[in-house]
Amino acid sequence: MRLALAALLALTLLRLALAAALPLAPDEAYYYAWSTHLQTGYYDHPLVVALLIRLGTTLFGPTALGIRFTGPLLAALGSVLVWDAGERLRPGAGLLAAALLNATLLIGVGCIIMTPDTPLMFFWMLGLWALIRLVLGNNPRWWLAVGVAAGAALASKYTGALFIVAVFGWLLASVQGRAALRTPWPWVAGALAVALFSPVLAWNAVHHWVSFAKQGGREGHLDFGWAAENFFELVTSQFALATPVIFVLAGAGLWHLRRDTSPAARLLLWLTLLPGAVFIEHVFAERVQGNWVAVLYPTICLAAALLPADMLARWRLRALASGFFITALTCAQALWGFIPLPANIDPTALQLAGWRNVALQAAALHPAFITSDDYWATSEIAYYAPADIPVYGDNIDKRWASFAWPKGGSVGDAGLVLVRRKEAACPDQIGTLTRTRGGHVLTTYRLCRFTLSAPLAVLPRPGADGH
């Protein structure tokens, strides 16, 4: 146990070092802007990610480490929760489940990048751990912890609702569960979850339910023509993000669990299959982003760790070795780009590369201000450009309207807009600006002169070059 804890500590320190070294992804720069203007809801997601970033930047300043500081810590704490839950299910299974979880590419790299998935994953694991304690210990007070975890997960990302629905389905599906529903404990847990989520509800109520409409609108149409391609992309992305051997072991583990009628086994299946079914259904509307599926990883790793000993003896070392190797290779690629991949298939380049140069190239033109029709570019420029050049939010983009930021600029000011959308007008184009990595073009922006007709929202600035 001491050796395993030492390994987890070393892994966490390594992740913190990577967090300090890697450039910010666009969404991280965007969420950093959130953290400078704390409110109980935002256009895209609820509030917890902003609170975590604010905590880290209070300790370490508006640096990459400050923005990402809590991510590796929550991953370590969540790993301990999965470890303990697995050990209670079967001695030895918990350590293997936690190791498999950390060996996946989605968790191994994902916990370094600060997004709403970071707190969602932690609170999902906290709720799973509390439910395992409840099932095996038969102490109904664990429902209080379940309620807190569910409410915090929902206040992290709306995907947390799937945890609540899955647990309710699990209860309805068994005699013991229906008996539990006749007691006050699950309902008290639900009330706690609603209470924790109520600030997000209140914010949406006074902002025309904009956040619910934005996320709920994803299911507002069906596109059967792309469903097969979307499904193929979902499966192949998870094959890569779980890493191949762990993906196969997880599938085998879930298949093996179908024969286990214990409440704990049924719980693992409900927390995997119900959200999984929702993601599969979503392919009929649009692509499923790879990170959305992260909530399944704690339960599928537990399912893999509960496989028969003879199967694990043959495959667990291969799973761990290949998983950590792929994760290490990906981190090295993100840092140094040493594998000459085409830019359009290198996810580390697409997310992380070239943003500082974009900001500095735009600033070198000495505009009165900078804005963009691409919130990725706007957020990264606000973080990396010299602090003496104002960066404004595009007045067409609804996400900037959800902040009570001060307005900047005067009518007639001449600035620069970076236009990414091909269909957008650019009547006074003065050139182009490209985001590159190793000579490969990642994104091309049209540079257009832009004259203010009304003041725009002023984005917060951390200082020159983000320091």
User: Which of 87, 90, 100, 98 shows the shortest CA–CA distance to 251?
Assistant: 100
The H-or-E segment that residue 342 falls in is: none
C-alpha–C-alpha distance, residues 195 and 193, integer Å = 5
Tokens standing for 83?
Answer: 């470890």
Paired tokens of 81: 């929760």
Residue 467 has pLDDT above 70, yes or no: no
Q: Percent of the chain beyond pLDDT 70?
A: 97
> Taking all residues of the chain, what is their mean pLDDT, rounded to a whole number?
92
Q: What residues contact residue 309 under an 8 Å CB cut-off, 6+ apart?
A: none
Report pLDDT digits (tens) over 316-353: 999 999 999 999 999 999 999 888 888 778 899 999 99
Chain center to CA of 160: 12
Predicted pLDDT at 466: 46
Which residue's entry shows tokens 């299974």? 93
Tens-digit pLDDT profile for residues 88-116: 999 999 999 999 999 999 999 999 999 99
- Where does the pLDDT of residue 462 fall: very low under 50, low under 70, confident under 90, or very high at 90 and above? confident
- Helix, strand or coil, per DSSP, at residue 313: helix
pLDDT band at 217 (very low <50, low <70, confident <90, very high): low
pLDDT bucket at 29, cuts 50 / 70 / 90: very high
Q: What is the full DSSP assignment across 120-153? A: HHHHHHHHHHHHHHHHHH--TTHHHHHHHHHHHH
pLDDT digits (tens, 9 = 90+) for 153-209: 999 999 999 999 999 999 999 999 999 999 999 999 999 999 999 999 999 999 889
Q: Which residues contact 61 (CB under 8 A, 6 or more apart)?
A: 462, 467
Q: Taken in order 327, 332, 333, 335, is the CA torsion positive or negative?
A: positive
Over residues 3-31, the mean pLDDT reads 96
Residue 438: pLDDT above 90?
A: no
- State which amino acid sits at residue 22: L
Cα–Cα distance for residue pair 149/196, rounded to 1 Å = 9
pLDDT in tens, 234-244: 999 999 999 99
Residue 401's pLDDT is what?
80
Distance CA 464, CA 399 (A): 24
Task: Return the number of other C-beta atoms located less than 10 Å from residue 217's C-beta.
Answer: 10
CA 95 from centre of chain: 24
Residue type, 200: V
Report CA-CA distances (Å) from 370 to 31, 89, 100, 454: 19, 56, 45, 14
Confidence band, pLDDT 50/70/90 cuts, at residue 380: very high
What's the whole-number mean pLDDT along residues 60-65?
96
Q: What is the DSSP string of 234-247?
A: HHHHHHHHS-HHHH
pLDDT tens-digit series, residues 276-292: 999 999 999 888 999 99
Residue, of 4 and 221, whose pLDDT is higher: 4
Contact 378, 394 (CB under 8 A): yes
Q: What are the residue boundaries of the structural domains of the chain, listed by start?
A: 2-336, 354-466
Long-range contacts of 273-277 (CB under 8 A, 24+ apart): 274/162, 274/165, 274/166, 274/169, 275/159, 275/162, 275/163, 275/166
Higher pLDDT, 163 or 460: 163
User: What is the C-alpha to C-alpha distance for residues 298 and 131, in angstroms, rounded to an integer?
Assistant: 13
Query: Collapsing DSSP states into helix, strand and coil, what is residue 417?
Result: strand
The DSSP call for residue 392 is B
Closest CA to 155 of 52, 32, 21: 52
> How far from the centroid of its chain's Cα atoms is residue 449's Cα?
35
Q: Is residue 458 classed as helix, strand or coil in its secondary structure?
A: strand
Q: What is the pLDDT of residue 218?
A: 59
Element (H, E) at 450: strand 440-451
With a cut of 70, say whether residue 26 has pLDDT above it.
yes
396 vs 458: which has the higher pLDDT: 458
State residue 308's pLDDT score: 95
Q: Which amino acid is at 278?
A: V
User: Which residues pair with residue 435 across a beta bridge?
Assistant: 443
Instruction: Fill in the amino acid letter for 295.
Output: V
Place of tokens 């790879």: 290
What does the pLDDT read at residue 465?
Answer: 45
Q: Pick the residue with more confidence: 242 or 421?
A: 242
Q: Phi, psi at residue 449, to the nearest 5°?
A: -70, 140
